[in-house]
Amino acid sequence: MIKAKKSLGQNFLIDKNVIKKIVNTVNIEKKNVLEIGPGTGNLTSYILEKKPKKFFAIEKDNELAIKLKNKFKNQINIINNDVLKIDETKLFEDDVIVFGNLPYNISTEILNKWIINLKDNFWFESLILMFQKEVANRIIADFNTSNYGRLSIICNWKLNIKKLCDIKPSAFYPKPKIESTLLFFYPKKNFIKINDPKNLEKITRIFFNQRRRMLKKPFNQLFNGNQNILNNLNIDLNLRPQNLSLDTYYRLTCEYEKLIG
């Protein structure tokens, strides 16, 4: 068996039932597919069986990329590169289904990059992604809970998110110390329009910088105590960042964009 590289977050899926569950989440036949981090190709083979239209896979590990090219020949386009450096929106002419048993050390960075870069047209029709359970819990957290924060707010802005299942460490080789969770993301038809998503990043960073502090300080820093905004959005400054709903953060970002012009 191949020696897994910890630095690249290599935990290969070996449980066939889990692999089948992932692949059967959506209908792949004649659809474009992008796989992030195909590794030894365990998930890749099953995706291929479902006869996708165009199939790209991005693998950073040089050694594995060569093996994958030999194994799958011209059935898949293997891109030997870092997913964080690729413009995946340019790979396909129409919508894509994205699969990824993601390297845990960069999973939130990948997702953040995709969401922040989203234009009005989505380049994917769904994302089926594996996360460390603790990270997945932060992504799907409701407001008024301790897991709620920047990640939940950014991820839920333009995407519907469903938890598919938790996955035990024994489904992987080598066995990770933590549990994993499979999430399914698909575009929202309606979402609050924000001109520059970087402003959403900024607002959430400032509000959640000190999550136990009351809202007064970050609000005044950004909005100079503007009473109209407080009234319109029904915000009580004695609350804490986790007590504001998703929509309140999106609307606060719109107000911020109006202020900065």
Q: Which residues bind ligand SAM (CB under 6 A)?
A: 8-13, 37-40, 42-43, 58-61, 64, 82-84, 101, 103, 106
Q: CB of 13: closest distance to ligand SAM in angstroms? A: 4
Q: CB of 5: closest distance to ligand SAM in angstroms? A: 7
**3-state class (DSSP) for residue 177:** coil
The 8-class DSSP code of residue 149 comes to S
Nearer to ligand SAM, 43 or 111 (CB): 43
Q: CB of 135: closest distance to ligand SAM in angstroms? A: 13
Nearer to ligand SAM, 31 or 60 (CB): 60
Please name the helix (run of DSSP H) or strand (run of DSSP E) that holds residue 36, with its range, or none. Answer: strand 32-36
Rounded Cα–Cα distance for residues 200 and 202 (Å): 5
Nearer to ligand SAM, 1 or 260 (CB): 1
Q: How many CB atoms lie within 10 A of CB 228?
A: 9
Nearer to ligand SAM, 64 or 97 (CB): 64
Nearer to ligand SAM, 19 or 154 (CB): 19
Q: How many CB atoms lie within 10 A of CB 197?
A: 18
Nearest-Å Rg of the Cα atoms of the chain is 20
Angle between helices 16-23 and 42-49 (to 10 degrees): 50
Q: CB of 154: closest distance to ligand SAM in angstroms? A: 20
Q: CB of 150: closest distance to ligand SAM in angstroms? A: 21
Nearer to ligand SAM, 22 or 194 (CB): 22
The per-residue b/e assignment along 138-167, b for 16 or more CB within 10 angstroms, e otherwise, is bbbbebeeebbbbbbbbbbbbbebeebeeb
Q: CB of 27: closest distance to ligand SAM in angstroms? A: 20
